Amino acid sequence: MNKTKLIGPFKQIIPMTGLSLKGPISDNQLNIIVDGGILVEEGKIRAIGNFDDLAKNSEGIEIHELQGNHTCLPGLIDSHTHICFGGSRAKDYAMRNAGKTYLEIAKAGGGIWDTVTQTRKASKEALIKRTTKLANRHLKNGITTIEVKSGYGLSVDEELKMLYAIKETNAIVSTDLIPTCLAAHMLPKDFDGTHEDYLSEISEKLFPVLKEKRLANRIDAFVEESAFSAAQIAPYFEKAKAMGFDITVHADQFSTSGSQVAIDFEAVSADHLEASTPKEVELLAKSNVIANALPGASIGLGCAFTPARKILDAGGALAIASDHNPGSAPMGDLLTQATILGTFEKLSNAEVLAGITFRAAAALSLNDRGQLKEGYSADFIGFHTDNYQEILYNQGNFKPCMVWKNGALVFDKHK
């Protein structure tokens, strides 16, 4: 029987409630519950408030009393990752830092195609093992929901292998994995046909299986000069929308056009945006598309950050994700990367935390997490401090000491 539990007291609870989805947020807008507690029932938050007040009517309630000072945040959400893959791209990283270009690295056998080759060689069981390891590492860093893309299979059978691996991993890890089909990552080198032929084959043969087997309800594509053009991807997204898939786009990473595609197809999010100009920023801000900044890719590639400050000031919605992948973003540490983005883009603590909680939830079309309030999933994390400002102040070096998922303590640093 799932008993009602009261967890606390937390010196501070930052529930991330009462804040707007779009536009700037100042730190003084944060609601801070002092000496708070969270009442949990059947994996959901039943009530949140002063711990002593909640404990007064404690008959039939398990009280999980914490010792010392703790600050509580909603479980973090990483809304863009590629943590299901085979092999390593350490050689690429070394070559890039030594001054080699993307083309030179690709000619030397590196690039996305190297990961495709290694992922195809890997068994489904090996992919499950790798994805499990990385998902558990994310969980210890406070991430209770992780988006995970395919895209290193680039054929119907190999994409299915990846998506089955993600689904089976989701059944054995504590964090939630949200699958996304990125079969339109690039034109596979071994495909005998045009970009249009490949996209047609994927949409005709793969999309129905995704629906039938419930492997993914999100379709992504890399809209870029080196991948698929806006014109090439349009029929693909039209088919996806007609079948009821959510759309997300790898957009404006090196050149612009992807953000306009995201707007045209009413995508849930446009991710990357490092190359976005004031024109794209303004168009995104006027739309309902979530702008998803990926500072890990900027750090990994040594390029400019997403213009996060401009997006917020224009009235846009900004999420922040790790882009954890073997090529351009191997670090995979969301809190560190979000802190660095905040430093360079002059984001308030509230804006950074919003980007990795409720705004990240919106980028995944999830309306049951990212905030701590009645009826939401009891996903929350605790830090050894009495001041939430210490979390970002330590620039990612300060990790959660406890993680709760659906009200269950799934990580405790002291055990």
Angle between helices 195-205 and 230-242 (to 10 degrees): 10
Picking from 40-54, 98-112, 180-194, which range would have the lowest pLDDT averaged per residue? 98-112
Question: Bigger pLDDT: 364 or 104?
Answer: 364
Homologous superfamily in CATH for domain 77-363 = Metal-dependent hydrolases (3.20.20.140)
Average pLDDT over residues 39-62: 92
Summary mean pLDDT of the chain: 96
pLDDT at 124: 98
pLDDT at 1: 45
Structure tokens at 328: 């351009």
pLDDT at 400: 98
DSSP letter at 22 equals: S
Judged against a pLDDT cut of 90, whether residue 2 lies above it is answered with no
Alpha-carbon torsion 367, 257, 272, 119, what sign?
positive
Judged against a pLDDT cut of 50, whether residue 3 lies above it is answered with yes
Residue 137 DSSP SS3: helix
Average pLDDT over residues 235-253: 98
pLDDT bin (cut points 50, 70, 90) of residue 194 is very high
Judged against a pLDDT cut of 50, whether residue 300 lies above it is answered with yes
Overall pTM surpassing 0.85 (yes/no): yes
Judged against a pLDDT cut of 90, whether residue 57 lies above it is answered with no
Average pLDDT over residues 398-404: 98
Alpha carbon distance 75, 356 (integer Å):
9
Homologous superfamily in CATH for domain 5-75+370-412 = Urease, subunit C, domain 1 (2.30.40.10)
Residues 6+ apart with CB under 8 A from 383: 70, 71, 72, 73, 390, 391, 398, 399, 400, 401
Average pLDDT over residues 298-313: 96
Tens of pLDDT along 112-140? 999 999 999 999 999 999 999 999 999 99
Span(s) in the chain for CATH 2.30.40.10: 5-75+370-412
Span(s) in the chain for CATH 3.20.20.140: 77-363
Tens of pLDDT along 205-224? 999 999 999 999 999 999 99
Q: What are phi and psi of 257, to 5 degrees?
A: 145, -35
